[in-house]
Structure 1
Amino acid sequence: MEDIKKALEEQIKALEYELTTELPAEIKKAVALGDLSENAEYHSAKQRQEFVNARLGQLKKRMGELAMVNLDNIPRDKVGFGSTIVVFDSTKDEEITYKLVTSEEADVTKGLISTTSPIGRALLGKEIGDTATVVTPNGKRELEVLKLTTIHGVAA
Protein backbone atom coordinates (compact mmCIF):
# COMPACT_ATOMS: atom_id res chain seq x y z
CA MET A 1 0.00 0.00 0.00
CA GLU A 2 2.85 2.39 0.87
CA ASP A 3 4.47 1.71 -2.54
CA ILE A 4 1.28 2.79 -4.28
CA LYS A 5 0.98 5.94 -2.19
CA LYS A 6 4.62 6.82 -2.93
CA ALA A 7 4.14 6.28 -6.68
CA LEU A 8 1.00 8.44 -6.65
CA GLU A 9 2.83 11.18 -4.72
CA GLU A 10 5.64 11.14 -7.31
CA GLN A 11 3.13 11.44 -10.16
CA ILE A 12 1.35 14.29 -8.38
CA LYS A 13 4.63 16.12 -7.76
CA ALA A 14 5.68 15.77 -11.43
CA LEU A 15 2.31 16.97 -12.72
CA GLU A 16 2.23 19.90 -10.29
CA TYR A 17 5.70 20.96 -11.50
CA GLU A 18 4.54 20.74 -15.11
CA LEU A 19 1.39 22.74 -14.28
CA THR A 20 3.12 25.49 -12.30
CA THR A 21 6.46 25.77 -14.12
CA GLU A 22 6.69 24.17 -17.57
CA LEU A 23 3.25 24.93 -19.00
CA PRO A 24 3.16 28.61 -17.95
CA ALA A 25 6.55 29.05 -19.65
CA GLU A 26 5.26 27.36 -22.84
CA ILE A 27 2.09 29.48 -22.82
CA LYS A 28 4.10 32.66 -22.27
CA LYS A 29 6.39 31.77 -25.18
CA ALA A 30 3.40 31.01 -27.42
CA VAL A 31 1.66 34.29 -26.49
CA ALA A 32 4.80 36.17 -27.49
CA LEU A 33 4.43 34.76 -31.01
CA GLY A 34 1.31 36.85 -31.56
CA ASP A 35 -2.12 35.92 -32.96
CA LEU A 36 -3.55 33.28 -30.60
CA SER A 37 -6.43 32.23 -32.86
CA GLU A 38 -4.12 30.26 -35.17
CA ASN A 39 -1.31 29.54 -32.70
CA ALA A 40 -0.94 25.75 -32.46
CA GLU A 41 1.66 25.92 -29.66
CA TYR A 42 -0.68 28.02 -27.52
CA HIS A 43 -3.69 25.72 -28.09
CA SER A 44 -1.59 22.61 -27.46
CA ALA A 45 -0.23 24.01 -24.18
CA LYS A 46 -3.73 25.03 -23.03
CA GLN A 47 -5.11 21.55 -23.84
CA ARG A 48 -2.24 19.93 -21.94
CA GLN A 49 -2.94 22.27 -19.02
CA GLU A 50 -6.58 21.10 -18.91
CA PHE A 51 -5.50 17.45 -19.07
CA VAL A 52 -2.90 17.88 -16.29
CA ASN A 53 -5.47 19.63 -14.08
CA ALA A 54 -7.97 16.79 -14.57
CA ARG A 55 -5.34 14.08 -13.97
CA LEU A 56 -4.17 15.84 -10.79
CA GLY A 57 -7.74 15.81 -9.53
CA GLN A 58 -8.03 12.06 -10.18
CA LEU A 59 -4.72 11.27 -8.45
CA LYS A 60 -5.50 13.39 -5.40
CA LYS A 61 -8.92 11.73 -5.09
CA ARG A 62 -7.26 8.29 -5.28
CA MET A 63 -4.75 9.30 -2.57
CA GLY A 64 -7.66 10.26 -0.35
CA GLU A 65 -9.35 6.92 -0.94
CA LEU A 66 -6.18 4.99 -0.13
CA ALA A 67 -5.64 7.03 3.03
CA MET A 68 -9.02 5.85 4.28
CA VAL A 69 -8.24 2.12 3.91
CA ASN A 70 -8.22 0.60 7.39
CA LEU A 71 -6.50 -2.79 7.40
CA ASP A 72 -8.28 -3.70 10.64
CA ASN A 73 -11.57 -3.74 8.71
CA ILE A 74 -10.32 -6.38 6.27
CA PRO A 75 -11.61 -9.83 7.28
CA ARG A 76 -9.23 -12.49 8.57
CA ASP A 77 -11.33 -15.47 7.42
CA LYS A 78 -12.83 -14.33 4.11
CA VAL A 79 -11.53 -13.04 0.80
CA GLY A 80 -10.70 -9.34 0.98
CA PHE A 81 -8.15 -6.81 -0.25
CA GLY A 82 -4.64 -8.32 -0.15
CA SER A 83 -5.86 -11.93 -0.06
CA THR A 84 -4.14 -14.64 -2.05
CA ILE A 85 -6.70 -17.15 -3.27
CA VAL A 86 -6.31 -20.50 -4.99
CA VAL A 87 -9.44 -21.33 -6.95
CA PHE A 88 -10.56 -24.22 -9.11
CA ASP A 89 -11.97 -22.90 -12.38
CA SER A 90 -14.40 -25.59 -13.55
CA THR A 91 -14.71 -23.92 -16.95
CA LYS A 92 -10.98 -24.25 -17.62
CA ASP A 93 -10.60 -27.36 -15.44
CA GLU A 94 -7.57 -25.89 -13.66
CA GLU A 95 -6.37 -24.34 -10.42
CA ILE A 96 -5.54 -20.63 -10.59
CA THR A 97 -3.94 -18.39 -7.96
CA TYR A 98 -5.09 -14.78 -7.66
CA LYS A 99 -4.05 -11.96 -5.38
CA LEU A 100 -6.53 -9.11 -4.83
CA VAL A 101 -4.78 -5.75 -5.21
CA THR A 102 -5.57 -2.11 -5.97
CA SER A 103 -6.34 -1.11 -9.55
CA GLU A 104 -2.87 0.53 -9.77
CA GLU A 105 -1.13 -2.79 -9.04
CA ALA A 106 -3.35 -5.04 -11.18
CA ASP A 107 -1.55 -7.27 -13.70
CA VAL A 108 -3.63 -10.23 -14.84
CA THR A 109 -0.61 -11.97 -16.39
CA LYS A 110 0.90 -12.18 -12.87
CA GLY A 111 -2.37 -13.18 -11.20
CA LEU A 112 -2.75 -9.73 -9.62
CA ILE A 113 -6.38 -8.73 -10.00
CA SER A 114 -8.14 -5.62 -8.84
CA THR A 115 -10.80 -5.78 -6.17
CA THR A 116 -12.98 -3.86 -8.64
CA SER A 117 -12.55 -6.34 -11.53
CA PRO A 118 -15.37 -8.83 -12.24
CA ILE A 119 -13.37 -11.72 -10.74
CA GLY A 120 -12.24 -9.62 -7.78
CA ARG A 121 -15.78 -8.48 -7.00
CA ALA A 122 -17.11 -12.05 -7.29
CA LEU A 123 -14.48 -13.41 -4.86
CA LEU A 124 -14.82 -10.72 -2.18
CA GLY A 125 -16.33 -12.12 1.01
CA LYS A 126 -16.01 -15.77 -0.06
CA GLU A 127 -14.62 -18.49 2.22
CA ILE A 128 -12.91 -21.80 1.49
CA GLY A 129 -15.45 -24.11 -0.15
CA ASP A 130 -17.55 -21.26 -1.55
CA THR A 131 -18.10 -20.94 -5.29
CA ALA A 132 -18.08 -17.60 -7.06
CA THR A 133 -19.87 -17.17 -10.37
CA VAL A 134 -18.18 -14.66 -12.65
CA VAL A 135 -19.75 -13.32 -15.83
CA THR A 136 -16.99 -12.58 -18.34
CA PRO A 137 -17.05 -11.65 -22.02
CA ASN A 138 -16.37 -15.35 -22.73
CA GLY A 139 -19.32 -16.54 -20.63
CA LYS A 140 -19.88 -17.62 -17.04
CA ARG A 141 -17.05 -19.04 -14.95
CA GLU A 142 -17.43 -20.99 -11.72
CA LEU A 143 -14.54 -20.46 -9.29
CA GLU A 144 -14.39 -22.65 -6.17
CA VAL A 145 -12.21 -21.26 -3.40
CA LEU A 146 -9.70 -23.97 -2.42
CA LYS A 147 -7.14 -22.02 -0.36
CA LEU A 148 -7.11 -18.55 1.15
CA THR A 149 -4.43 -16.42 2.81
CA THR A 150 -5.56 -12.97 3.92
CA ILE A 151 -3.55 -9.72 3.97
CA HIS A 152 -3.00 -10.40 7.67
CA GLY A 153 -0.93 -13.46 6.72
CA VAL A 154 -3.61 -15.72 8.12
CA ALA A 155 -4.26 -18.93 6.21
CA ALA A 156 -7.94 -19.73 6.53
Structure 2
Amino acid sequence: MVEAKKHILTSKGMQALEDELQDLKVVKRKEIAQKIKEAREQGDLSENAEYDAAKDEQRSMEARIEELEKIIKNAEVIDESAYDKDTVSIGSTIKFYDEEFDEELEYRIVGSTESDILKGLISNESPLGKALIGAKVGETVQVESPDGFSRYKILEISRS
Protein backbone atom coordinates (compact mmCIF):
# COMPACT_ATOMS: atom_id res chain seq x y z
CA MET A 1 0.00 0.00 0.00
CA VAL A 2 1.32 3.44 -0.93
CA GLU A 3 1.93 5.70 2.05
CA ALA A 4 0.10 9.01 1.85
CA LYS A 5 2.21 12.11 1.32
CA LYS A 6 3.00 14.01 4.50
CA HIS A 7 1.78 17.59 4.29
CA ILE A 8 4.14 19.97 6.07
CA LEU A 9 2.17 22.83 7.58
CA THR A 10 2.81 25.77 9.82
CA SER A 11 0.47 26.17 12.76
CA LYS A 12 -1.26 29.05 10.92
CA GLY A 13 -1.70 26.85 7.86
CA MET A 14 -3.19 24.02 9.89
CA GLN A 15 -5.60 26.41 11.60
CA ALA A 16 -6.71 27.82 8.23
CA LEU A 17 -7.43 24.31 6.88
CA GLU A 18 -9.34 23.33 10.03
CA ASP A 19 -11.37 26.56 9.83
CA GLU A 20 -12.20 25.95 6.17
CA LEU A 21 -13.24 22.35 6.90
CA GLN A 22 -15.45 23.47 9.78
CA ASP A 23 -17.09 26.15 7.59
CA LEU A 24 -17.77 23.67 4.79
CA LYS A 25 -19.27 21.08 7.14
CA VAL A 26 -21.34 23.41 9.28
CA VAL A 27 -22.30 26.38 7.10
CA LYS A 28 -21.92 25.44 3.43
CA ARG A 29 -23.60 22.03 3.74
CA LYS A 30 -26.71 23.69 5.15
CA GLU A 31 -26.69 26.39 2.47
CA ILE A 32 -26.43 23.85 -0.35
CA ALA A 33 -29.07 21.59 1.21
CA GLN A 34 -31.40 24.60 1.28
CA LYS A 35 -30.67 25.37 -2.40
CA ILE A 36 -31.41 21.75 -3.34
CA LYS A 37 -34.65 21.81 -1.32
CA GLU A 38 -35.80 25.03 -3.00
CA ALA A 39 -34.92 23.70 -6.46
CA ARG A 40 -36.88 20.47 -5.80
CA GLU A 41 -39.92 22.50 -4.86
CA GLN A 42 -39.93 24.03 -8.35
CA GLY A 43 -41.11 20.76 -9.85
CA ASP A 44 -39.64 18.74 -12.74
CA LEU A 45 -36.02 18.00 -11.89
CA SER A 46 -35.08 16.85 -15.42
CA GLU A 47 -35.14 20.43 -16.73
CA ASN A 48 -34.24 22.26 -13.53
CA ALA A 49 -30.98 24.18 -13.96
CA GLU A 50 -30.98 25.40 -10.34
CA TYR A 51 -31.20 21.82 -9.09
CA ASP A 52 -28.35 20.70 -11.37
CA ALA A 53 -26.20 23.66 -10.29
CA ALA A 54 -26.85 22.98 -6.61
CA LYS A 55 -26.01 19.28 -7.00
CA ASP A 56 -22.76 20.23 -8.83
CA GLU A 57 -21.90 22.63 -6.03
CA GLN A 58 -22.61 19.90 -3.49
CA ARG A 59 -20.30 17.44 -5.31
CA SER A 60 -17.49 20.02 -5.42
CA MET A 61 -17.91 20.86 -1.76
CA GLU A 62 -17.90 17.20 -0.69
CA ALA A 63 -14.75 16.61 -2.74
CA ARG A 64 -13.07 19.57 -1.01
CA ILE A 65 -14.14 18.25 2.41
CA GLU A 66 -12.61 14.87 1.57
CA GLU A 67 -9.41 16.55 0.34
CA LEU A 68 -9.10 18.68 3.50
CA GLU A 69 -9.70 15.67 5.74
CA LYS A 70 -6.89 13.76 3.98
CA ILE A 71 -4.49 16.70 4.23
CA ILE A 72 -5.23 17.22 7.94
CA LYS A 73 -4.94 13.49 8.64
CA ASN A 74 -1.51 13.37 6.99
CA ALA A 75 -0.30 16.75 8.25
CA GLU A 76 2.94 17.35 10.04
CA VAL A 77 2.74 20.67 11.85
CA ILE A 78 6.22 22.04 12.26
CA ASP A 79 7.34 23.49 15.55
CA GLU A 80 8.58 26.86 14.39
CA SER A 81 10.06 27.64 17.81
CA ALA A 82 12.48 24.72 17.43
CA TYR A 83 14.30 26.45 14.56
CA ASP A 84 17.20 28.87 14.88
CA LYS A 85 15.85 32.41 14.43
CA ASP A 86 18.98 33.42 12.48
CA THR A 87 18.57 30.72 9.82
CA VAL A 88 15.88 30.50 7.14
CA SER A 89 13.51 27.58 7.74
CA ILE A 90 9.87 26.72 7.23
CA GLY A 91 7.83 29.42 8.92
CA SER A 92 10.46 32.12 8.34
CA THR A 93 9.57 35.39 6.69
CA ILE A 94 12.51 36.49 4.58
CA LYS A 95 13.26 39.90 3.17
CA PHE A 96 15.83 39.61 0.39
CA TYR A 97 17.29 41.56 -2.48
CA ASP A 98 16.83 40.31 -6.06
CA GLU A 99 20.05 41.31 -7.82
CA GLU A 100 18.67 40.75 -11.34
CA PHE A 101 15.61 42.98 -10.95
CA ASP A 102 17.15 45.36 -8.38
CA GLU A 103 14.26 45.01 -5.93
CA GLU A 104 13.53 43.88 -2.40
CA LEU A 105 11.11 41.01 -1.94
CA GLU A 106 9.51 39.43 1.09
CA TYR A 107 8.14 35.91 1.32
CA ARG A 108 7.23 33.43 4.01
CA ILE A 109 8.41 29.84 3.57
CA VAL A 110 5.63 27.30 4.11
CA GLY A 111 4.86 23.72 3.15
CA SER A 112 3.62 23.09 -0.38
CA THR A 113 0.01 22.70 0.78
CA GLU A 114 -0.05 26.28 2.09
CA SER A 115 1.91 27.97 -0.69
CA ASP A 116 0.27 30.89 -2.49
CA ILE A 117 2.67 33.21 -4.30
CA LEU A 118 0.01 35.94 -4.53
CA LYS A 119 -0.14 36.00 -0.72
CA GLY A 120 3.65 35.96 -0.36
CA LEU A 121 3.78 32.28 0.68
CA ILE A 122 6.36 30.14 -1.13
CA SER A 123 6.80 26.40 -0.83
CA ASN A 124 9.80 24.85 0.84
CA GLU A 125 9.83 22.51 -2.18
CA SER A 126 10.10 25.31 -4.77
CA PRO A 127 13.53 26.10 -6.23
CA LEU A 128 13.62 29.45 -4.40
CA GLY A 129 12.35 27.93 -1.14
CA LYS A 130 14.96 25.15 -1.30
CA ALA A 131 17.73 27.67 -1.95
CA LEU A 132 16.66 29.95 0.91
CA ILE A 133 16.34 27.25 3.58
CA GLY A 134 19.43 27.18 5.75
CA ALA A 135 20.67 30.62 4.63
CA LYS A 136 21.53 33.41 7.06
CA VAL A 137 21.34 37.20 6.92
CA GLY A 138 24.02 38.60 4.63
CA GLU A 139 24.36 35.42 2.57
CA THR A 140 23.58 35.29 -1.14
CA VAL A 141 21.75 32.29 -2.57
CA GLN A 142 21.66 31.29 -6.20
CA VAL A 143 18.62 29.74 -7.87
CA GLU A 144 18.69 28.02 -11.23
CA SER A 145 15.85 28.82 -13.60
CA PRO A 146 15.22 28.13 -17.29
CA ASP A 147 16.69 31.58 -18.04
CA GLY A 148 19.91 30.94 -16.09
CA PHE A 149 20.74 31.78 -12.50
CA SER A 150 19.19 34.35 -10.19
CA ARG A 151 20.93 35.66 -7.07
CA TYR A 152 19.23 36.80 -3.89
CA LYS A 153 20.88 38.42 -0.86
CA ILE A 154 19.22 37.72 2.50
CA LEU A 155 18.48 41.03 4.25
CA GLU A 156 16.27 39.98 7.16
CA ILE A 157 14.79 36.85 8.71
CA SER A 158 11.80 36.96 11.05
CA ARG A 159 9.11 34.73 12.49
CA SER A 160 5.48 35.79 12.22
Q: Which TM-score band applies after superposition, normalised by the shorter structure?
A: 0.5 to 0.7
> Which residue number corresponds to residue 43 of structure 1?
52
Q: Do the aligned partners of residues 118 and 65 (structure 1) sit closer, same or farther apart at CA in structure 2, a change above 3 Å counting? A: farther
Q: TM-score, normalised by structure 1?
A: 0.66
Q: Over aligned residues, Cα RMSD in angstroms? A: 3.6
| Greater relative contact order (CA < 8 Å, ≥ 6 in sequence) | 2
Distance (whole Å) between structure 2 residues aligned to residue 90 and residue 63 of structure 1: 38
Moved more, 98-107 or 18-27: 98-107
Gaps of 5+ in 2: 1-9
Letter in 2 for 1:126: A
Equivalent residues, number: 147
Q: Aligned match of 2:37 in 17, 23, 28?
A: 28
> Which residue number corresponds to residue 52 of structure 1?
61
> Which residue number corresponds to residue 122 of structure 2?
114
Task: Give me the identity figure in percent.
Answer: 31
Q: Aligned match of 1:135 in 145, 148, 151?
A: 145
Gaps of 5+ in 1: none
Q: Residues 2-45 of structure 1: CA distance to partner in whole angstroms, max 9, x if unpaired?
A: 44444333322221135543323332333343332211121011
Q: TM-score, normalised by structure 2?
A: 0.65
Letter in 2 for 1:131: V
Richer in strand (by share): 2
